[in-house]
Chains A and B, each alone.
Chain A
Amino acid sequence: MLLSDLTGITRNVLAGGRHRYGYGAIQNRLQQMQDEMQRLFSSGVAERPAGEYPAINLWTNEEEVIVTAELPGVNAEDLDITVVGRTLTLKGTRKAEEVKEDECCHRTERRYGNFVRAIELPYEVEGEKVSAKLDKGVLSVTLPRAEADIPKKIKISSN
């Protein structure tokens, strides 16, 4: 999409320049593309929406997994987090605001209702030591890896 965009711009410029894009716009667009590329490479992973609610991000290292999800407007008491084996389940409700009969909705883009999402973790976790934090509508669950599952470093003895 980006490439075709650029080709479009170039073509317009070649054809006389007084088209949809001015010179500044090309520079802006190029700068934006550069930024996007940089971001893409620095994070290492491209976004891949799963089409499920809530969307999650997974952060890992050898000892812990952090699962984050955006849950604006969800209260901690309306959220249920469970771990069974390698599956983390997020279950909750987003309460709808009541709209009285004489009120009219111009826009309803936000979603309401119950949601359940099960996430498979990359390894077994210590269920007892899982902690969760809900701050500014962002949930973050930290799951330490099960002791038995942590890779052991093997020392090589030399004679």
Chain B
Amino acid sequence: MADTLEKKEAEVTEGVEHTRAVKVYTPAVDIVEKAKEILVTADMPGVDDKSIDITLEKNVLTIYGKVDVDVPEKYRASYVEYGIGDYRRSFTLSNEIDREHIEATVKNGVLRLVLPKAEAAKTKKIEVRAA
């Protein structure tokens, strides 16, 4: 469970500037390792399949979710507990991922990334024979 309930702002990467004047948050993620794949689940409310960018460069998988800050017109923000902004998070992948078959789906503001393990990395059962 997360330490705080608050949304965490993403750190500004050295030498990289934002081109959009919005805050960038770090989404909360779950990472579960299964026998054949690694499942990454990220909470990104406000993001759908069209506004998410997933890039894989060298060993770094980056997810970036763009959120439209749609402020209701003719309303006054009288009480604000959470900020609205984009999401960004990067993960370093080990070589054991089958990069060609990474799958991503978004439902109800939750991103599900399935990273299949490469053939070589799948656990092999070693049989023990009685001598």
Contacts and interface: CB of A to CB of B under 8 A. Distances in A.
Closest 6 CB pairs of A and B: A137-B109, A137-B45, A72-B109, A58-B79, A59-B75, A70-B45
Nearest to A98: B32
Interface of A: 24-25, 28, 31-32, 35, 38-39, 43-53, 55-61, 64, 66, 70-75, 97, 99-100, 102-111, 122, 134, 136-138
Contacts of B75: 59-61, 64, 66
A61 B74 contact: yes
A6 to B, nearest CB: 15
A106 to B, nearest CB: 4
Contacts, number: 146
Contact of B76 (A28, A49, A61): A61
Interface string B88-113: 00000000000000000001111000
Interface in B17-49: 17, 21, 23, 28-35, 41, 43-48
B119 interface: no
Given A45-B77, A49-B5, A66-B75, A73 B43 contact: yes
A24 B44 contact: no
Nearest to A63: B74
